[in-house]
C-alpha cells in the first residue's frame, strides 16, 4: 500500500469511528424523546381478567424484571414488583396466608406490598393497573 492508499484507509477508519461515536452519543437523546406507552414509561401489558381467580397471584416479566398481579379475595387487582426491597430476591405468593414471602431472609409483604415482617426496609413497588371490561391493563 502506498502512502496515498494508507491515507485513504486511515480516512475511512476515522470516518467509521466518528459515525459510531455519533450514534453512541445520540442514542440516549433518542431514548429520551421516543414515545412511551405507559404511566411508568414501560410497555403496557394486557391480561384477560378470566385468567386470575380471587386469592390468586400471577407472576410475569415487566420492564425486564419480575412482577406479580394479585386478585384479592375482595376482587381488587394489585400489580407489584416481585423484587424484594431487602436484597433483591424474588418473592413468592403464599396462597394459604394471602401474603408474599421472600425465600432469602423471610421478609413478608401484604397483598398491597406493605411490609408485614422481616428485614425489607420498604414496601414492594406498585405498578399501575386498570380494569376495563374483561381486560386487566398493567403499566
Ligand atoms: S432479600 Fe428478601 S428478605 Fe432479604
Distance 85 CA to ligand 1 centre (A): 7
Give the pLDDT score at 3: 62
* Phi and psi, residue 102, nearest 5°: -90, 125
User: 34-38, 59-63, 108-112 — which is least confidently predicted?
Assistant: 34-38
| Residue 40 in domain | no
Give the pLDDT score at 43: 82
**48-107 residue pLDDT tens:** 888 899 999 999 999 899 999 999 999 999 999 999 999 999 999 999 999 999 999 999
One domain for residues 82 and 117? yes
The answer to whether 97 and 109 have CB atoms below 8 angstroms apart is: no
Tell me 99's DSSP state.
E
- CA–CA distances in Å: residue 126 to residues 13, 109, 113: 49, 12, 7
One domain for residues 52 and 101? yes
| Residue 39 in domain | no
Q: What is the number of domains present in the chain? A: 2
To test the pocket of ligand 1, the residue of 86, 101, 113, 115 to mutate (highest count of ligand atoms within 8 Å of its CB) is 86
The domain in which residue 75 lies consists of: 45-138
DSSP 86-137: TT-PBPEEETTTTEEE-TTT--EE-TTS-EEESS--SPPPEE-EEEETTEEE
One domain for residues 127 and 59? yes
Q: Is 39 strand, coil or helix? A: coil
Q: Using a 6 Å cutoff on CB, does residue 90 contact ligand 1?
A: no
Amino acid at each position: 500500500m502506498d502512502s496515498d492508499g494508507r491515507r485513504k484507509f486511515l480516512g475511512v477508519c476515522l470516518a467509521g469511528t466518528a459515525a459510531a461515536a455519533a450514534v453512541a452519543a445520540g442514542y440516549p437523546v433518542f431514548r429520551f424523546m421516543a414515545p412511551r406507552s405507559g404511566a411508568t414509561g414501560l410497555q403496557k401489558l394486557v391480561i384477560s381478567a378470566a385468567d386470575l381467580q380471587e386469592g390468586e397471584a400471577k407472576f410475569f416479566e415487566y420492564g425486564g424484571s419480575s412482577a406479580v398481579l394479585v386478585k384479592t379475595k375482595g376482587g381488587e387487582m394489585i400489580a407489584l414488583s416481585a423484587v424484594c426491597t431487602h436484597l433483591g430476591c424474588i418473592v413468592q405468593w403464599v396462597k394459604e396466608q394471602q401474603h408474599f414471602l421472600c425465600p432469602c431472609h423471610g421478609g413478608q409483604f401484604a397483598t398491597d406490598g406493605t411490609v408485614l415482617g422481616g428485614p425489607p426496609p420498604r414496601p414492594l413497588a406498585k405498578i399501575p393497573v386498570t380494569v376495563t371490561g374483561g381486560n386487566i391493563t398493567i403499566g
